[in-house]
């Protein structure tokens, strides 16, 4: 009964997490161009804050959806992990715990920015030169995990572990397991792009983000449907 309830809840949340990612992917291009770039990595904090002061609705909506995705994905991690735990309990427990930590950070950061970004934007357009200088230093936009080791790296590690165990045991269809491996590789590309902090950063990170935008929703929704069917 307990496993059935977990599969049903986790499957539903997995489907919703995938749908939320699709909505985020659709919403992001609709934001003003000045708000689509990370002010920490592109060093464009002045234009970001100025644009945000005039219209922050889509930015706040995107952050809220990102936090919602992370919270839904935590339930999905628990149910997905249970589907392959019998293959190797140790690896699954360790990697899934790391993934949950990463997803928790992925929820905290956007919730924090939902509260701080509009206030910073208002203070920037109304402030003097000293205020503007203080609000546009790169460290003002740092999150809890600026290079993504937990948000993307730990999450990708768990996806890889679960996918390889499912591939070895036949717990999932082979194509689904390969999609999971693709999700893991795309996650690590984002980390590599953030760590390098060079001219080639976007050439590495952007393909990873695009890969996640395409593969992660497929992976979540497919697994969610399987979990609900099994329940």
- Nearest 10 degrees: Cα torsion 67, 71, 76, 82: 140
pLDDT (average), residues 9-37: 90
Residues 67/111, Cβ–Cβ less than 8 Å: yes
Which residue is listed with tokens 């464009």? Answer: 44
Which residue is listed with tokens 């996918």? Answer: 163
**For 96-154, how does the pLDDT look when each residue is reduced to its tens digit (9 = 90+)?**
999 999 999 999 999 998 988 888 888 888 888 888 888 777 777 778 898 899 999 99
Domain ranges of the chain: 2-230
- Mean pLDDT (the chain, rounded): 88
Give which of 17, 14, 55 is closest to 33, Cα–Cα.
55
Q: In which band, very low, low, confident or very high, does the pLDDT at 199 lie, cut at 50, 70 and 90?
A: very low
Angle at 116 between CA 115 and CA 120, to 5 degrees: 140
Residue 198 has pLDDT above 60, yes or no: no
Token pair for residue 152?
Answer: 């993307």
Which residue is listed with tokens 């165990």? Answer: 165
């Amino acid at each position: 009964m307990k496993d059935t309830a977990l599969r049903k809840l986790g499957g539903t949340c997995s489907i919703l997490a995938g749908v939320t990612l699709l909505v985020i992917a659709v919403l992001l291009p609709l934001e003003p161009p000045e708000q689509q770039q990370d002010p920490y990595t592109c060093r464009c904090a002045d234009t970001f804050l100025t644009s945000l002061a005039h219209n922050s609705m889509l930015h706040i909506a995107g952050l809220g959806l990102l936090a919602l995705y992370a919270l839904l994905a935590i339930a999905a991690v628990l149910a997905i992990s249970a589907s392959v735990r019998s293959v190797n309990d140790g690896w699954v427990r360790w990697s899934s715990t790391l993934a949950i930590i990463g997803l928790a950070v992925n929820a905290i950061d956007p919730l924090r920015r939902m509260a701080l970004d509009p206030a910073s934007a208002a203070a920037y357009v109304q402030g003097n030169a000293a205020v503007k200088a203080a609000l546009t230093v790169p460290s003002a936009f740092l999150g809890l995990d600026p290079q993504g080791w937990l948000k993307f790296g730990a999450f990708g590690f768990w996806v890889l572990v679960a996918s390889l165990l499912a591939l070895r045991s036949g717990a999932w269809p082979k194509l689904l397991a390969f999609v999971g491996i693709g999700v893991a590789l795309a996650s690590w590309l984002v980390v590599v792009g953030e760590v390098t902090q060079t001219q080639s950063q976007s050439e590495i990170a952007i393909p990873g983000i695009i890969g996640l935008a395409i593969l992660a929703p497929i992976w979540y929704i497919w697994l969610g449907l399987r979990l609900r069917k099994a329940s």
